[in-house]
Structure 1
Amino acid sequence: SELEEAEGELHEVETELIAIPTEEEKEGEALTAKQSLIEDASKHALFEALPEGALLCGRRYELRRILLESERLNIYEGVSTEQFKRCSGCGNLSPLEDKFCNECGASLEDAPQYIPTVTVVEAPVGDEKLLEAIEEVATETREEMPRAIDRFSETPYGDSKRLYLVFERVGGLPLSLEATPLDYNIQLEIASRLLRLAKALSKRSLLLPEIGCAVMLDKHIILNSIEAVRLASSQEEAEVKMSTMIRSHLIEALKRCIDSAQSAVEKKMASKLLDDITTMGEGASLDELLSRVEVALNEFVGVSVLKYESVGMSDVGKVRELNEDGFIIYELTGFQHPKEFHIGLYAVADGMGGHEAGEVACKLALNALLETIQQEVLRALAQNMGSFFEVKWDDVLRNGFENANKVVYERAKDMHSDMGTTMVAALIVGNRVYIANVGDSRAYILSRNLRQVTKDHSLVQQLVDIGQIKPEEARVHPHRHVIYRAVGLHQHVEVDMFEELLNAGDKLLLCSDGLCDMLEDSEIEDIMLSEQEINKACEELIRKANENGGFDNITVVIVAALQG
């Protein structure tokens, strides 16, 4: 047993001797430990930014300053050292060697050359999810983000491989209440773009910390400061913060619009939207806000959610031998990217002058008006739908009346005639109607009840205005046909202009005095309410006017606004 104990002790000593490392083994172990520490440290070290002046992509881009430095993303402001071609059609930048725009396909043969300032986004290969999220947002919101003009990877200065995304950097004023115009339509456009951008960001748990991260560029907003985008803890946090911020901005912007509105219609629309946004409360989602803003934007620019039916009829009456009235209906409905459109011109004229001169004046005026409107519609459609909705259609309608006056006046001089004509016209663009009148032909709108929009340019209307006679006496006054304003009587004409919004179920009525002299407004209202089909309503109005005497020509145009 003593021998066995001695052998055991000897074995332990041998084991301890074997475990003692040699000098070479000690050095090897130290080197391995050092490498392990370096590798571990590199996993947690800051993703170090490149120095100012660094050149990337074969010296194509020079970095000017660091905008953001973080563990997962670096962002720089830089400049291209090469020229690009800018497409005159869509504004996209293409390399000089390209012959056609890779965005819209337009020829770049005469495109201007341009050296852009750029934003360079950099991420380490293997941890590029954040960069890819920004790229996805840029692809999804093409109008709210700068244009991505390059994507590449390289290993700068022998360091680890990095992935790069290059955006054009644009100028502009930081978005704020004070910096934005007071125009209602521009505020709607800004809100719509902000909300679309916020939706794209929140889906990827990204957020804008403040409105001023975006800039105003022309009438649009662009997220120029990509470096301002922050990573939220969740999609829900991103959405709540941005919806609260944008809703608050929109409420203040709408208050400013209401205070400075030049148009009663715009003031009414802005007030309604403000009420709706306020009623939604702070918990309103980005989708809810965007949906309401887009409805308001469509109402403003005339993207119609309505459809229209129209009919026109004219009758010589029971007394006159010649019908010197006339009407026109011109409608155009279609789609051109990105919007549907509807435009309609409806007009009634009542010629005067005797010996067929009234008929000539009526025809000349209506044709000149139609020609003016058609030319402007074709000019607007030839450009783009954006310009179509930006046309001042009230001015176009006024110009049509002035052109009609010139044509009739010059023909009257040539014929040595005192011919002229009354004229009332409505130009419907989307759900907005612009109404003009000269003389005593009228425009009415039927909603819950009948309302006269225009005001007669007649002697009896002046007597009513000054209180000498009552409105009901005007219809039977012996001088009720005396008018002091008509198309073609003088070298220049003063046109009364009105602007209204149409809703589904509304009806627009244009008529000559042959109708409203024979029927009380209450009778017209009863017929239009009882006859839902506009053809039958038109026929019944003319029948009733003839039944009551038919002392003049009778012309009626009815336009019904229907839910789209």
Structure 2
Amino acid sequence: MNFLTAVHTDVGIKKSTNQDSALVMEATSDYGNVLLAVICDGMGGLAKGEVASSAVIQLFKKWFEEDLPSVITSNDPKTLIFSTWEKIVYSANIKISEYGRAQGISLGTTLVAVLFLGNSYYIVNIGDSRAYCISDNLYQLTKDQTFVQREMDMGRMTYEESLNHPQRNVLLQCIGASNLVEPDFHTGQFTSGQSFMLCSDGFRHVISEAELFERLNPYMLNSEQAMYDNLVYLTELNKYRREQDNISAILIKTE
């Protein structure tokens, strides 16, 4: 399988620094092309969120460079991928928490990462950065670890109420600012001609799912330039609609 990719990140209209971090890495192996994509959203309002997001990105970069050969040749890649990612998350949580205490500050980051290997994808997420699959429709692959999502799951809040709830940005956990982090893992199959999108929450707060599908469906993505242009268009639309957060997204098309 071949991949087309595009990455775009923007500081937005309000914040002085971009606390989001993004990573895309690809390798060629005897078992086909392998691609890793990661987005981390350093906590808005917490000091040095960019330090936390960058630290997690670097750990996944190191994992891809050092652990990928054993994953590719494993008889059980799912178990190996998720177990090593879990160790990364636990280690990062401890290190970022210790750094924050030493500096007398609070900092943290969300995480969403996807690995494409063979015909399978593997996802980990913590917080409210998301992964989507886009084919004939827009499918959210991750579930937000947020207060409003929990309330919806418990039947105490409707989706419409969640959109403007004053606590819509309250996370149940994030790396570096939680005593214990429990990542969610997802896996599935993919085929040629699909697109996948990872994004921080700033990319999709004021954009409807219909608008995302219109610009990011695979039929609109004939080249990496077209993919990038559509990410920029949606980013500028976010800013026009007064989105207050940093804005980041990674777009991947399978071929």
Q: In the alignment, what sits opposite 1:475?
A: 163
Using the TM superposition, give the Cα deviation of residue 456 of structure 1 relative to its aligned residue in structure 2, in angstroms: 0.7
**How far apart, CA to CA, are the structure 2 residues paired with 1:370 and 1:406?**
18
Cα distance, 1:348 vs. partner?
0.7
Partner deviation per Cα, 1:82-115 (whole Å, 9 max, x = no partner): xxxxxxxxxxxxxxxxxxxxxxxxxxxxxxxxxx
Contact 1:422 1:440 in 2 (8 A): yes
Query: Is the contact made by 1:369 and 1:403 (CA closer than 8 Å) also made in structure 2?
Result: no
Structure 2 counterpart of 1:461: 149
Please give the alpha-carbon distance, in whole angstroms, between the structure 2 residues aligned to 1:309 and 1:505: 10
**1:318 correspondence with 2:13:** yes
Of residues 117, 126, 131, the one that matches 1:438 is 126
Deviations 1:386-423 (A, max 9, x none): x3454332323333323322332222222222211111
Provide the C-alpha distance between the structure 1 equivalents of 2:46 and 2:86, rounded to a whole number of angstroms.
29
CA drift of 1:455 comes to 0.7
Q: Give the alignment partner of residue 531 of structure 1, picking from 220, 229, 233.
A: 220
Mapping of 1:71-470 within 5 angstroms? 306-335=1-30, 340-352=31-43, 354=45, 356-378=47-69, 380=70, 387-388=73-74, 390-391=76-77, 392-470=80-158
SS of the counterpart of 1:352? coil
Distance 2:148 2:214 in 1: 25
Change (3 A) 1:506 1:541: same
The separation in 1 between residues aligned to 2:49 and 2:169, in whole angstroms, is 14
Matching residue's letter, 2:35? G
- Residues 497-521 of structure 1: CA distance to partner in whole angstroms, max 9, x if unpaired? 0001111111111000101212122
Q: C-alpha distance in 1, partners of 2:75/2:37?
A: 19
Deviation at residue 341 of structure 1 after TM alignment: 2.7
The separation in 2 between residues aligned to 1:308 and 1:350, in whole angstroms, is: 24
CA distance 1:508–1:353, shift in 2 (3 Å): closer
Gaps of 5+ in 2: none
Match of 2:200 among 512, 529, 542: 512
Aligned residues: CA RMSD:
2.0
Unaligned runs of 5+ in 1: 1-305
TM-score (structure 2 length as normaliser):
0.89
* Cα pair 1:369 1:401 within 8 Å, conserved: no
Q: For the residues of structure 2 that align with 1:325 and 1:423, how far apart are their CA atoms?
A: 10
| Correspondent of 1:540 among 227, 233, 238 | 233
Shift of 1:358: 0.7
Instruction: Kindly indicate which of the two structures has a greater share of residues assigned to helix.
Output: 1
Equivalent residue letter for 2:239: N
The answer (yes or no) to whether the contact 1:315–1:554 under 8 Å persists in 2 is: yes
Native 8 Å contact 1:422 1:487 kept in 2: yes
State the distance in 2 between where 1:457 and 1:479 align. Answer: 13
For 1:346 and 1:418, the matched residues in 2 are separated by 26
More displaced, 395-404 or 469-478? 395-404
For the 8 Å contact 2:46–2:108, the answer to whether it is kept is: no
Flag the structure with larger Rg. Answer: 1
Q: Does 1:561 align with 2:248?
A: no
C-alpha displacement at 1:442, in angstroms?
0.6
Equivalent-residue separation in structure 2 for 1:400 and 1:346 (angstroms): 15
Question: What does the per-residue CA deviation read over 1:183-236, in whole Å, with 9 as the maximum and x for residues that have no partner?
Answer: xxxxxxxxxxxxxxxxxxxxxxxxxxxxxxxxxxxxxxxxxxxxxxxxxxxxxx
TM-score scaled by length of structure 1 = 0.42
Question: What is the CA–CA distance in structure 2 between the aligned matches of 1:436 and 1:355, rounded to whole Å?
Answer: 23
Checking the alignment, whether the CA contact within 8 Å between 1:370 and 1:400 is kept in structure 2 is no
Quote the offset at 1:462 in angstroms.
Answer: 1.5
The amino acid across from 1:547 in the alignment is Y
